[in-house]
Amino acid sequence: MLKKGFVRTISIVKPSLSDNTADAQRLEQRLKKELSGDTISIPLHVLKKLPSNLRSWGFKARAVLFKDQCSWILLDLLDPASDSPALGAAIDIGSTRVVISLINLETGQEISETGFDNPQAVIGPDILTRIHYSNQDQGLAELNLLVIDAVNFNMSKLCREHGYKKEDIYIVVGAGNTAMTHLFLGIESFEIIKEPYIPCVNIPDTLPAKSLNLDINQNGVAFLFPNIGSYFGGDLISGILFSNLDQKENPSLMVDVGTNAEIVVGSKEYLIACAGAAGPALEGGVSKMGMTARPGVIDKVWVDPETNDLKVHTIDEKKPVGICGSGMIDLAASLFLSKRIDIRGKFSKQNCKKKELTEKNGIMDFILVDKNDSGTDQPICLSQVDLNSLTSSKAAMYTILEVIVCNTAGLNFKDLEKFYVAGTFGSFINPVSAISIGMLPDIPVETFEVLGNSSLGGAKVLLKVPDAFERVMKIRKSITYIELNVNQEFMNMFSGAKFYPHTDTSRFPSLQISSFS
Amino acid sequence: MLKKGFVRTISIVKPSLSDNTADAQRLEQRLKKELSGDTISIPLHVLKKLPSNLRSWGFKARAVLFKDQCSWILLDLLDPASDSPALGAAIDIGSTRVVISLINLETGQEISETGFDNPQAVIGPDILTRIHYSNQDQGLAELNLLVIDAVNFNMSKLCREHGYKKEDIYIVVGAGNTAMTHLFLGIESFEIIKEPYIPCVNIPDTLPAKSLNLDINQNGVAFLFPNIGSYFGGDLISGILFSNLDQKENPSLMVDVGTNAEIVVGSKEYLIACAGAAGPALEGGVSKMGMTARPGVIDKVWVDPETNDLKVHTIDEKKPVGICGSGMIDLAASLFLSKRIDIRGKFSKQNCKKKELTEKNGIMDFILVDKNDSGTDQPICLSQVDLNSLTSSKAAMYTILEVIVCNTAGLNFKDLEKFYVAGTFGSFINPVSAISIGMLPDIPVETFEVLGNSSLGGAKVLLKVPDAFERVMKIRKSITYIELNVNQEFMNMFSGAKFYPHTDTSRFPSLQISSFS
């Protein structure tokens, strides 16, 4: 039971001839005391039956509440003798995938989670296409309807499956990037992608859920995480909340590797963030090149110490059908550590086994899985072109980390108390492999911590901890957002990082010892 | 043009690469500066088209606003080049009569006013009957619908008649007594009349007009004046606002004489109020006994100095059909000053002309208008019973004034800078007559000021002066409400006040000089 959550059972002082304060103000005063707040609104639907309800409930009640940036909001007043549930739905509004988690507001327990592909993908897989479409007649309404309908359908299904009604949901908290948040709110999004890249809103108000056509309790509300601009959305603010970066004594870092890399470094003293593709380097980068995780996809690669052969592990141990991003990093690390590629990231004919390399149109292709062992009747290969792309991506990642941690925050990598890796892709990266190829800095492995879906995680925190709202606003306010300038200095740093692990090998002492000794 | 009213034309700083603040926050900041406030909410319907609107309007806009107890509310954002009107409707929600005044929010000008009988009268003429009815199945909904429908019909008609649309109305401000306010809001009212007489709400929130089924602009709001209990309603708080009692340097007084007498005395330092019928004294009192003003009703009575006959004036100078409350006070004063009644308020056979008095069942009847001059073919009379009732009423009024001004506030009547008389009945009272019979204290005539419909007046102030909202809340908070104890001391004071003008004639020096010298 959450003692200080969004559902509180309260007793109200009974009125008398010597205290004729109205029922609503009596309730307000009691809630004010309970919540140590200064203002609380009693909504009309509660007011309508307040006198008879308070009297039939013996001046006791269960209050369902939400805490807004300005004040507490009373959502409903329930019979203290009933056990009717009060739920919240946390939603990660991803452009590719939407995940909903159902939380019991009274106990803070997570009931269940469901995920589904964002149906806006029928309009276009990427955000840019969707925003262009939103500018057409009825385009915005259509995009909005697609996501809202799917959310309603899945919230309702999730409730039914666990013995609840959709009317039990009082609060929806959504976290998404700036564009997804705009489309979810049904507000004009076009200026986000046009210079000077201005969102319609940075801090959405808490809104009646029905104004967004969310099919929950008719008195429910919806809150969308705020953003600090077109490139730094509510999903990241939510992630920071989830990581507790804003409460750390010592500097820590969070990186969310998706289509773009988004990085925040800081502590309770400051937060510095940067985001966006670093020039063309991350385009068609690691996460895009790999397949989405599903049965048969190679997620781990290692060198057999006895045979020096490359070994693979697939999801559900099915026959291999492809390789995912984390598998790719493992593969690159294995290739480098076994000297099958050189420090420039080029295949070494000398060090690869003969059956491993083939050449097509003058481009080398590394055969990871023979077509006889493959689930697709085709060999699973990594071409020099793919590898070059991976090299650029890992170099871009390292360079961005160096810019923000060392050049901007003035820290050394070893000063980082924690290095959080967020996002689905990040969840599967083996940090040892990522260090081996010089994608991540050479810091103790225990510094790395996988956060998983931190966007969803932050939304859940907001449904459990009323004070979190204030933290969200403080986080938003305290972030210094750095535009990444892809200038000559950046390109010089990038060039050094394109080597394996780096031109400056002294930055990777653990690697020197383990593999070059 | 109201420079600091609820409609403001503003210019917003255009965004740039060096200032990527979202449109909504840009607008918020501009409004915050304009309004010297700390928080302002941009509603979803404004947000939806904010980016394209701001750009097509050249980052200028006309903002339609309202000021709530916690913050400013943006109701709509209009094209600065358009002259689409923004109106407010002030409503006096009387239990007998409802009056609506249409105000142009931009200029502060009153467009027009309309009044109609409260259709709830079909349920019952008095509040008690209505509240009992509201406790029956669907009774509350029916009473609510009656008044809301009539208000919608009349607002809409008023708009049409003056070239406006009902959608032009953005704000409804209503002032009514506590019961009428509850019925208007559609909230349970039954506890108001049951010991310990607890209203459902003291301070209603500003509500979306559509939540009250008010048929105005769909983004409009409604505000109902707060009360301080079952006996002291929003109509009186509105009246205090209108009278400026709360801003006076020196103590002043406001009295609203209706079925009950409601009195407030105070200044910017304090406000003391009492209300309610003083025992049986005011029952069947002045206002009830008289007829409602209409053509042919006697509204003025005086003594012809040459003939010593009583003369009357009727409304529209039609043949007399009856006498209204103010006429009754004139009549009593004339009877007393011409010594036709004695200091106990009994008809003096000796001083009345023979044709003026008749006796029926041992009760004297004073013939004011002969049946030949009457519009009803019956003489218009005042019986000793009627006169006794008037005597009790005037004594109760004086006693209540004495209790609150002298005993409670510790003042002398002559300390009062202003003596405001509110309400329809009060509007027609001749203070000289009221002083003559000892109903009102003997203070200079210029101290008295007729306020008219002060309940409507205060509602209008709220539509013109945004700061008035704070005053309303301050007035409500600063009122000390006194329960009138009809104890021995009160009865002793009352007994003295039943004389004409009073047992203590030194209290009425002007009278001594003019009539007893």
Instruction: Identify the pLDDT of residue B372.
Output: 93
CB contact under 8 A, B200 and A23: yes
Residue B165 has which token pair?
Answer: 């649309």
Chain A contact for B193, CB < 8 A? no
User: Which of A358, A389, A420 represents a domain boundary (last residue)?
Assistant: A389
Instruction: Identify the pLDDT of residue B496.
Output: 94
Distance from the A55 Cα atom to the nearest Cα atom in chain B, whole angstroms: 10
How confident is the model over A92-110, as pLDDT tens digits? Answer: 999 999 999 999 999 999 9
CB contact under 8 A, B187 and A47: yes
Question: Scanning the structure block, which residue is given the tokens 């493959």?
Answer: A374
How far is Cα A200 from Cα B52, in angstroms, rounded to an integer? Answer: 10
Q: What CATH number has the domain bearing residue A437?
A: 3.30.420.40
Q: What 3-state class would DSSP assign to A307?
A: coil
Query: Taking the CB of residue B63, how many other CB atoms lie within 10 A of it?
Result: 24
Query: Taking the CB of residue A426, how many other CB atoms lie within 10 A of it?
Result: 25
Contacts of B24 in chain A (CB under 8 A): 200-203
Contacts of A202 in chain B (CB under 8 A): 21-22, 24-25
Q: Would you state the torsion angle of the CA atoms of residues B468, B472, B473, B477, taken in this order, to the nearest 10 degrees?
A: 140
Instruction: Identify the pLDDT of residue A276.
Output: 64
Distance from the B52 Cα atom to the nearest Cα atom in chain A, whole angstroms: 8
pLDDT band at residue A515 using 50, 70 and 90 as cut-offs = very low
Q: What is the pTM of this model?
A: 0.90
For A213, residues 6+ apart whose C-beta sits below 8 A from its C-beta are A148, A152
User: Which of B329, B362, B389 represents a domain boundary (last residue)?
Assistant: B389
Is residue A244's pLDDT more than 70? Answer: yes
Contacts of A134 in chain B (CB under 8 A): none
Residue A445 has which token pair?
Answer: 């492995």
Is residue B429's pLDDT more than 90? Answer: no
Q: How far apart are the first and last CA of chain B?
A: 56
Distance from the B196 Cα atom to the nearest Cα atom in chain A, whole angstroms: 5
Strands B207-208 and B252-257: unpaired
Structural contact between residues B151 and B173, judged by C-beta atoms closer than 8 angstroms? no
Instruction: Identify the pLDDT of residue A290.
Output: 60
Mean pLDDT of B329-336: 94
Q: Is residue B242 included in any domain, yes or no?
A: no
Mean pLDDT of A14-26: 94
How far is Cα A262 from Cα B281, in angstroms, rounded to an integer? Answer: 80
How confident is the model over B181-240, as pLDDT tens digits? Answer: 999 999 999 999 999 999 999 999 999 999 999 999 999 999 999 999 998 999 999 999
Q: What 3-state class would DSSP assign to A230?
A: coil
How far is Cα B65 from Cα B221, in angstroms, rounded to an integer? Answer: 10
Chain A, nearest residue to B53 by Cα: A188
Q: Same domain for B380 and B303?
A: yes
Q: Same domain for A101 and A49?
A: no
Q: Same domain for A195 and A260?
A: no
How far is Cα A339 from Cα A434, in angstroms, rounded to an integer? Answer: 16
Chain B contact for A193, CB < 8 A? no
Q: What CATH number has the domain bearing residue B124?
A: 3.30.420.480
Lowest mean pLDDT among A45-59, B107-121, B165-179, B263-277: B263-277
Q: Is residue A238 included in any domain, yes or no?
A: no
Residue A515, amino acid: S
Q: Spell B435-467 as b/e; 16+ CB within 10 A means b.
A: bbbbbbbbbeeebbeebebbbbbbbbbbbbbbe
How far is Cα A505 from Cα A515, in angstroms, rounded to an integer? Answer: 12
Give Cα separations from A24 to A30, A403, B141, B150, B453 (angstroms): 10, 56, 20, 28, 29
Structural contact between residues B5 and B108, judged by C-beta atoms closer than 8 angstroms? yes
Q: Same domain for A260 and A114?
A: no
Chain B contact for A199, CB < 8 A? yes
How far is Cα B291 from Cα B327, in angstroms, rounded to an integer? Answer: 10
CB contact under 8 A, A25 and B185: no
Q: Same domain for A210 and A147?
A: yes
Structural contact between residues B256 and B262, judged by C-beta atoms closer than 8 angstroms? yes
Structural contact between residues B209 and B203, judged by C-beta atoms closer than 8 angstroms? no
Residue B123 has which token pair?
Answer: 């349920």
Q: At what angle do helices A178-185 and A234-243 cross, to 10 degrees?
A: 110
Instruction: Identify the pLDDT of residue A98.
Output: 97
Q: Same domain for B92 and B220?
A: yes
Chain A contact for B413, CB < 8 A? no
Contacts of A200 in chain B (CB under 8 A): 22-24, 47, 50-51
Q: Same domain for B213 and B98?
A: yes
- Helix spans in B244-305 (H): 286-289
Q: Provide the number of CB pairs (under 8 Å) joining chain A to chain B.
A: 132
Is residue A260's pLDDT more than 80? Answer: no
What share of chain B has pLDDT > 90, as a percent? 79
Q: Same domain for B217 and B174?
A: yes
Is residue B516's pLDDT more than 60? Answer: no
Please give the tally of structural domains in chain A.
4
Is residue B75's pLDDT more than 60? Answer: yes
Closest CA to A1 of A68, A82, A86, A73: A86
For B418, residues 6+ apart whose C-beta sits below 8 A from its C-beta are B243, B245, B248, B252, B253, B447, B449
Chain B contact for A49, CB < 8 A? yes
Q: What 3-state class would DSSP assign to B242?
A: helix
* Helix, strand, coil percent values for chain B (each to nearest 5): 40, 25, 35
CB contact under 8 A, A50 and B23: no
Residue of A25, A44, A190 lying closest to B211 (CB–CB): A44
Give Cα separations from A487 to A278, A490, A493, A494, A503 (angstroms): 11, 5, 10, 10, 19
Burial class (CB within 10 angstroms; exposed 0-12, middle 13-18, buried 19+) of A444: exposed
Is residue A270's pLDDT more than 50? Answer: yes
Instruction: Identify the pLDDT of residue B407.
Output: 93
How confident is the model over B20-56, as pLDDT tens digits? Answer: 999 999 999 999 999 987 678 899 999 999 999 999 9
Is residue A283's pLDDT more than 50? Answer: no
Residue A405 DSSP class? I
CB contact under 8 A, B20 and A230: yes
Q: Is residue A235 included in any domain, yes or no?
A: no
Instruction: Identify the pLDDT of residue B423.
Output: 79
pLDDT band at residue A70 using 50, 70 and 90 as cut-offs = low
Q: Is residue B344 included in any domain, yes or no?
A: yes
Q: Is residue B109 included in any domain, yes or no?
A: yes
Give the best-scoring range by mean pLDDT among A211-225, A388-402, B63-77, B262-276: A211-225
Q: Is residue A221 included in any domain, yes or no?
A: yes
Best of A29, A181, A191 to mutate (most B CBs within 10 Å, chain B): A191
CB contact under 8 A, B185 and A71: no
| Full domain range(s) for residue A154 | 87-230
Angle at B29 (CA atoms; ends B24, B30), nearest 5 degrees: 100
Q: Spell A339-370 as b/e; 16+ CB within 10 A means b.
A: ebbeeebebeeeebeeebbeeeeeebbbbbbe
Q: What 3-state class would DSSP assign to B280?
A: coil
Distance from the B20 Cα atom to the nearest Cα atom in chain A, whole angstroms: 6
Residue B317, amino acid: E
Distance from the A181 Cα atom to the nearest Cα atom in chain B, whole angstroms: 12
Q: Same domain for A220 and A95?
A: yes
Is residue B411's pLDDT more than 80? Answer: yes
Residue of B47, B198, B230 lying closest to A187 (CB–CB): B47
Q: Is residue B229 included in any domain, yes or no?
A: no
What is the pLDDT of chain B when averaged over all its residues?
91
Q: Same domain for A253 and A202?
A: no
pLDDT band at residue A284 using 50, 70 and 90 as cut-offs = very low
**How far is residue B438 CA from its own chain's centroid?**
24
Q: Is residue A370 included in any domain, yes or no?
A: yes
What HEC string does B447-465 produce?
Answer: HEEEEECHHHHHHHHHHHC
**How far is residue A370 CA from its own chain's centroid?**
36
Contacts of B200 in chain A (CB under 8 A): 22-24, 47, 50-51
- DSSP letters for B36-95: T-S-EE--HHHHHTHHHHHHHTTTEEEEEEEE-SS-EEEEEEE-TT-----EEEEEEE-S
**How far is residue B210 CA from its own chain's centroid?**
26
Q: Same domain for B154 and B257?
A: no
Q: Same domain for B63 and B137?
A: no
Chain A contact for B485, CB < 8 A? no
Q: How far apart are the first and last CA of chain A?
A: 56
User: Which of B330, B360, B389 represents a domain boundary (last residue)?
Assistant: B389
Contacts of B23 in chain A (CB under 8 A): 191, 198-201
Lowest mean pLDDT among A267-281, A301-315, B14-28: A267-281
Mean pLDDT of A440-465: 95
Residue A207 DSSP class? E
Contacts of A49 in chain B (CB under 8 A): 188
The ipTM value here is 0.89
CB contact under 8 A, B198 and A51: yes
How confident is the model over A348-371, as pLDDT tens digits? Answer: 999 999 999 999 888 999 999 999
Q: What CATH number has the domain bearing residue B38?
A: 3.10.20.880
pLDDT band at residue B286 using 50, 70 and 90 as cut-offs = low
